[in-house]
Amino acid sequence: MLDGFAALGHATLAALQKLGRAFLFLLATLGGLPALLPRPRLLLKEFFSVGVLSLLIIVVSGLFVGMVLGLQGYVTLSKFGAEESLGVVVALSLVRELGPVVTALLFAGRAGSALTAEIGLMKSTEQLSGMEMMAVDPVKRVIGPRYAAGFLSMPLLAAMFSAVGVLGGYFVGVGIVGVDEGSFWSQMQSGVDWREDVLNGVIKSIVFGFVVSWIAVFEGYDCVPTSEGVSQATTRTVVHSALAVLGLDFVLTGLMFS
């Protein structure tokens, strides 16, 4: 009984400590970002590996999610004779919810896990330590560019996801099941509000990008420097990112659309 309490207390303290470390780490990372300004090439390189290389999975997933939305939306809407609204249904689902959320989940799996593993392995092979001894701050040189690249690419990827998703919905809705093309686009145009829908979606993806990239680089930097430690950290990145994204999505949706 007492042992159980002690273990609970121990786990809570450890979690709080880790949270504290994560916040201090975030501050150090953000503080180091201005050092990137004179060296944009460092950022471009990470942008490529974090953002550009994630494009394929984002675009393909976006296309399929859009096509599924087109089909499902048509089946439900046609029951009420409202299939002309298919365009607005597809666009709103993507721009408000699926674009930011699914992109963030895919991004955590594709780029977040890679970031954690890369940084964790750099730590376990003493590369970070070696940099420190060369009087180079690894938080500025290694973490900063990766973090910035992660959190800047997320809104762009989410926008790409939504755009391709709308096209997917269009192919299925107009091309296959035969919704009128004019009403598909005009309903979308009148039903989707720039500020209310698009901007809120962008804000969501910025928040998700900030959090997922933070979790990914922190888990890598904080991992136990062994093969087991790196693998656990990579798993934690994906699990914690997914939970954080879904939880935050609920909170943000509540704040934005209530």
Partner 1 sequence: MDAHIRIEGVTFYRGDRMIFDDISMEIPRGQITAIMGPSGTGKTTLLRLIGGQLVPNAGHVYVDGQDVAALSRSELYTLRKRMGMLFQSGALLTDLSVFENVAFPLREHTRMGEDMLRDMVLMKLESVGLRGAHALMPAELSGGMARRVALARSIALDPDLIMYDEPFTGLDPITMATIVTLIRRLNDAVGITSLLVSHDIHETLSIADVVYLISEGKVVERGTPDTLSNSNSAWVKQFLQGLPDGPVPFHYPAPSLAEDFLGQRDA
What are the residues binding partner 1 (CB under 8 A)? Answer: 122, 125-127, 129-137, 141
* CB-nearer residue toward partner 1: 41 or 79: 41
Q: Residue for token digits 């690419």?
A: 153
* CB-nearer residue toward partner 1: 21 or 39: 39
Cα 42 to Cα 46: distance, rounded to the nearest angstrom:
7
Cα 240 to Cα 238: distance, rounded to the nearest angstrom:
6
Cα 232 to Cα 237: distance, rounded to the nearest angstrom:
9
Q: Residue 186 corresponds to which tokens in the numbers above?
A: 């005009």
Q: Within the chain, what is the greatest distance between any pair of CA atoms?
A: 70
Task: Check residue 179 and give left, alpha or beta (phi > 0: left; psi -120 to 50: alpha).
Answer: beta
Tell me the CB-side half-sphere exposure of residue 128, using CA atoms within 13 A: 17
Q: Report the nearest approach of partner 1 to the CB of residue 241 (Å).
A: 24
* CB-nearer residue toward partner 1: 29 or 200: 29
Cα 63 to Cα 167: distance, rounded to the nearest angstrom:
7
* CB-nearer residue toward partner 1: 126 or 193: 126
* CB-nearer residue toward partner 1: 130 or 182: 130
Q: Which burial class, exposed, middle or buried, applies to 102 when counting CB atoms under 10 A from its CB (0-12, 13-18, 19+)?
A: buried
Q: Report the nearest approach of partner 1 to the CB of residue 18 (Å).
A: 18
Classified as helix, coil or strand, 136 is coil
* CB-nearer residue toward partner 1: 28 or 77: 28
